[in-house]
Amino acid sequence: MSTPTARTPRYELHCHLDGSVRPGTVADLAREQGIALDRPVEDLVVAPAHCGSLTTFLTYIDLPLQVLQTPDALTRAARELVEDWKADGVVYGEARFAPQLHGCHGMTPDEAVRAVTEGLAQGRAATGVGTGLLLCCLRHQTPDESLAVAETALRHRDVVAGLDLAGDEGRFTAPPPPAAGDLARSAGLPCTVHAGEAAGPESMWEAIDVLGARRIGHGVRCTSDPALLNRLRTDKITLEMCPTSNVQTGAVPGLTNHPATPLLADGVPVTISTDTRTTSATTLNTEFALLRQVTAWTSQHEALAQEHAARASFNTQNKQ
């Protein structure tokens, strides 16, 4: 596989911290915390090529979440993610995580945010890679829980670049939590929403019109709706596509069917990310190589996708 070039600085906008912990780090943390592993760690944290559903895919993040319940563990994972970005040719990356999922041993959401912030800062200092931090509300949680995440984000507005709504929109079809989105918008905190992955175009319309999303996580199911495509182009709503993950979860049947290339050619602001570097056993270098091999992706495609990603980043201090 080719290596990234200095001409195409890479931006990663869609990267879940808990799905990107190095397998060796998961093993180290499990050993330190007295968590016995009944199989090789890779079998527990790397999902198969075809999981059949997002629900199955997400089970491979259970163990990383289990070991990320202390500030030190979160700081290490965040620092190592920035180091991995550097090795992947990334000049700016946005890490996202749900701080409310890290309180099993009493860590508060604020402490979790501070721990991840510290790890990102250590990574920046060592590598020069710019970073942004997004906090995730979760579809299966209550509106009050989502509001608490938004409030946490605003308490750390100096380090939190945006808010995300994550989860399986196919299984959890209740109306999204408007209070969290309203609070974020009133404070000028930009939002991205997972949509068009497990459900169809209607979930993307909801993300745009109800939640005010400036970016859509995945969005691969938009191609059947010409009005939606026009809205994405007109309003420059960026799609954070993750080809390997999209195949693993069944959002698309295979890489040859992935819509990133035709959508990019059609003027839709498409970007490419890994989603979960460990769960998907991938890097941006791997994603672009696969697109070149399977979908006739060229260096011009990559350059255009990176232009979109640079423009759509939520941390204005890191835009180039």
The Cα–Cα gap between 33 and 35 comes to: 6
Does the reported pTM lie above 0.75?
A: yes
Which tokens is 163 given?
């808010």
Neighbouring-strand partners of residue 193: 165, 216
> Cα(22)–Cα(312) distance, rounded to whole angstroms?
27
**What pLDDT score does 318 carry?**
47
Find out whether 280 and 42 touch, Cβ atoms under 8 Å. no
The catalytic site residues sit at 197
pLDDT in tens, the chain (320 residues): 344 444 579 999 999 999 999 999 999 999 999 999 999 999 999 999 999 899 999 999 999 999 999 999 999 999 999 999 999 999 999 999 999 999 999 999 999 999 999 999 999 999 999 999 999 999 888 889 999 999 999 999 999 999 999 987 666 655 566 778 788 888 889 999 999 998 889 999 999 998 889 999 999 999 999 999 999 999 999 999 999 999 999 999 999 999 999 999 999 999 999 999 999 999 999 999 999 999 889 999 999 999 999 999 998 554 43
Question: CA torsion, points 225, 227, 230, 232, in degrees to nearest 10?
Answer: -70
Superfamily of domain 10-312: Metal-dependent hydrolases (3.20.20.140)
Q: How many residues does the chain have?
A: 320
Cα dihedral across residues 245, 248, 249, 254: positive or negative = positive
At 5 the pLDDT is 45
Residue 60 and residue 275 in contact, taking contact as beta carbons nearer than 8 Å: no
Number of CB atoms found within 10 A of residue 159's CB: 17
Closest C-alpha to 120, from 146, 145, 150, 84: 84
Strands (E), 68-122: 90-97
At residue 319, the pLDDT reads 40
